Chain A
Amino acid sequence: MSTVTASPKKTGHPSALAEFWHYFSRNKGAVIGLAIFIVILVVAILAPLFAPHSPSEQNREALLLVPSWMEGGNSSYLLGTDAVGRDILSRLIYGARFSLFIGLVVVTLSVISGVLVGLVAGYFGGRTDIVIMRIMDIILAFPSLLLALVLVAVLGPGLLNAMIAISLVNQPHFVRLTRASVLAEREKEYVVASKVAGAGTMRIMFLTILPNCLGPLIVQATLAFSAAILDAAALGFLGMGAQPPTPEWGTMLAEAREFIQRAPWVVTFPGLAILITVLAINLMGDGLRDALDPKLKRS
């Protein structure tokens, strides 16, 4: 179907994008995930338009108000209010900004550093490779959240430090993945050809080899994106991430913990927000893998 609407430039061959969409759209879960992700993205970017209240405005008259559909609810506070009278819906909407921002920064940081290091290790091999990979093994030997906690404890609590810590913990995955792909590609004929043609080391590394290793990296980046959101929420929950009054989801969850019996909605909604976002991104990652992994194509 999509092969029919092929790109006009390369007649006979579907465009890369169309081919990608062909495989991606076969996975229904992935499409749903993508749709949810786009909705969250739009809501996050246009937060001031969607949020009915300011996320830090405290209405002292309405502490722990129930959601609007329950008895005693107020329609201006759709999901109720928290312990200091802030609108939960507005906080969740603004919180989406933080979560996506965290995901983006962490993935960018760990992908860039991970790919660079992995490329160097894979391309040069030998002693460089050994030293780099052993360091990565050491980092991987720690439970990731625990290592992130230690790093934050050293750097001091705060959103920025949490992001740095999570990036560092995530980085070895990218290093290993890049190195493995580079090792496989390095010996291929097109690389040899370009070497023979006199291309410099940099050119071979970044323009010849790297583009051919991107598939698995993209998949891993999506998964790391959701893992970063989860880790940031966990750090926030432990009081080591975002500091008040930042409406970060994990922090919201931690602050509301004591009300789990008295006012369950205060705990439920941030939890659901984390669950839905992470699930959507993971489903999307699944679809990406289907579309980008050559081994799974036309299976």
Chain B
Amino acid sequence: MKKFSILLAATALVSVMATAASAKTLVYCSEASPEGFDPGLYTGGQTFDAASRTVYSRLVEFKHGGTEIEPGLAESWTVSEDGKEYTFKLRKGVKFQTTDFFTPTRDLNADDVIFSFERQLKADNPWNKYVEGAAWEYAAGMGFPELIKSVEKVDDLTVKFVLNRPEAPFIANLGMDFASIMSKEYADKLAADGKMAQLNQMPLGTGPFTFVAYQPDAVIRYKAHPDYFGGKQKIDDLVFAITTDAAVRVQKLKAGECHVAPYPNAADVPDLKKDENLTVLEGPGLNVSYLAYNTTQAPFDKAEVRRALNQAVNKQAIVDAVFQGAGQVAKNPIPPTMWSYNDAVQDDTYDPEAAKKALEAAGVKDLKMKIWAMPVSRPYMLNARRAAELMQADLAKVGVTAEIVSYEWAEYLKLSKDKARDGAVILGWTGDNGDPDNFLDTLLGCDAVGGNNRAQWCNEEFNKLVKDAKVTSDQAERTKLYQEAQVIFKREAPWMTINHSVVSIPVSKKVTGFQNDPLGIHRFDGVDIAE
């Protein structure tokens, strides 16, 4: 009985404190449930928003609203002469979050950093397969297992990364979500208790917000991390209200049920701009959408055929009909806001007559092709089916019969990687780290054939420039190489570059400090809300 009364008193006290403080709560209508809470395992933006940008932090961070790198958990770093050794000095006294399920006893140290990377890199690490089918897609995609020779502890607050070769974008890569730093102490405890899967369900890190609870497909709750190394956040509670339908998100935002709602329907944006309680943050997305031909198959193996097809399609019509004009016709594979963008490159002008002649000259008659249309809406391509229908109509005018095919999203991504794939694929990319390498090598390099290189395009000349740029640390030199690579890309035309979209996020006027991040992430550190 006595125990009970103590408990009662405690609950009463807690509730009194809660009301007295008049907690500031920010509600974010997120677009999907997170795939899990271990950012290394997944690739979805909703997972990064829910796990890595709230609960975790990284050695280096992107500047809020930009792509520049600034120190995170690492105070400073040095690079060796040959560009193969990176030594990071960790910040002192960084506290992990204290939660209902775990109370940390020590501050961040080098062991945590080593654990965070080795679990993704080494197949013999006990945490490498702790979730069924763990593929560590990002680490693999960035070539980390081959790139990193070792991660070493110099002392408690110094970590050294030894690479097999110099890699210019390495620091930028460490700001990406998969490089989030986990707590080794927490992981050890879970391993000892035999509850390893919990690492992916109940996250604990050094980030600005502490995870409180997750109800699948409904809501995720966080509270401000009081000992966050960047200072306690101004908002006390952060709620992710998972709302998958874009129209419903907009309605909730208008009704004041949430304060920030990403990915509105393009058609609704003009209306949202008129709403006096909302601000629509608009910014050029760091993205590109494209139609990738299969360059290993006739007649798409000929550059003149690909260029002729590019000429046949009115891309401005796609921007108007699919993006309601909120975008820009793309001519290069990297967006114009990225350094090394080559503005001197001339786009293939829309000219059906010339396209027809060029096809005839190449000996292509009665061409039949498939256009793969993505089944989902992504910031870089809001409605692939509609874009495909527009292409279909344009291609019909030059005598090309196009058939539109589509598959379930996961299947689509998998099947489109196949080298023997029949047809051209509509797809796109949002930059992860603001480095051109992340577009040019990741999407068009020879290593990516059969993977992210959906055009299955391996051009020696292009590949050499991109690979050279990767191991050069001088940015002016890299810019020159990348600009040349873009010229070759346009000449060879493995893609029809479609569009760079404008990303709009409607935000309640009460919210201050929220920024439209070009990397497509949604961050709530430094955000405040008026009562």
**A residues engaging B (CB < 8 A)?**
56-58, 60, 63, 83-85, 153, 157, 239, 243-245, 255, 258-263
Contacts and interface: CB of A to CB of B under 8 A. Distances in A.
B314 interface: yes
A92 to B, nearest CB: 17
B281 to A, nearest CB: 20
Contacts of A60: 314, 317, 320-321
15 contacts: A60-B317, A83-B322, A83-B386, A84-B386, A84-B389, A85-B321, A244-B389, A244-B392, A245-B389, A258-B246, A258-B267, A261-B250, A261-B267, A262-B265, A263-B267
Nearest to B394: A58
B268 interface: yes
B392 to A, nearest CB: 7
A244 to B, nearest CB: 5
A56 B390 CA distance: 10
Given A60-B317, A157-B406, A244-B388, A262 B393 contact: no
A243 to B, nearest CB: 6
B511 interface: no
Nearest to A153: B408
Nearest to A64: B267
A91 to B, nearest CB: 12
B389 A261 contact: no
A63 B320 contact: yes
Interface in B381-400: 383, 385-386, 388-390, 392-393
Nearest to B392: A245
A63 B389 CA distance: 14
A85 B320 CA distance: 11
B246 A255 contact: no
A271 to B, nearest CB: 16
Nearest to B265: A258
B247 A244 contact: no
Going nearest first, the 8 A-B pairs with the smallest beta carbon separation are: A262-B267, A258-B265, A60-B317, A58-B393, A244-B389, A84-B321, A259-B267, A245-B389
A262 to B, nearest CB: 4
Looking at chain B's contact residues, the main secondary structure is: helix
Contacts of A63: 320-321
B321 A83 contact: yes
B145 interface: no
A255 B268 CA distance: 15
A60 B467 CA distance: 42
Given A60-B320, A83-B386, A261-B271, 10 more contacts: A63-B321, A84-B389, A157-B406, A244-B389, A244-B392, A258-B247, A258-B383, A261-B265, A261-B268, A263-B267
B147 interface: no
Nearest to B316: A60
Nearest to B270: A262
Contacts of B393: 56-58, 84, 245
Given A58-B393, A63-B321, A84-B386, A261 B247 contact: yes
Contacts of A239: 375, 406
Contacts of B383: 258
Contact of B404 (A84, A243, A261, A262): A243
A23 B379 CA distance: 60
Contacts of B408: 153
B320 A244 contact: no
Contacts of A263: 267
A65 to B, nearest CB: 12
A239 B412 CA distance: 14
Nearest to B375: A239
Interface in B258-294: 265-268, 270-271
A20 B373 CA distance: 51
Contacts of B392: 244-245
A63 B267 CA distance: 12
* Most chain B C-beta atoms within 10 Å of own C-beta, residue among A56, A63, A84, A153: A84
A153 B406 CA distance: 12
Contacts of B270: 262
A58 B271 CA distance: 26
Contacts of A245: 389, 392-393, 404
A262 B268 contact: yes
A88 to B, nearest CB: 15
Contacts of B390: 58, 84
Interface in B411-469: none
A244 B373 CA distance: 10
Contacts of A261: 247, 250, 265, 267-268, 271
A94 to B, nearest CB: 15
B31 to A, nearest CB: 14
A172 to B, nearest CB: 28
Given A58-B390, A261-B247, A244 B321 contact: no
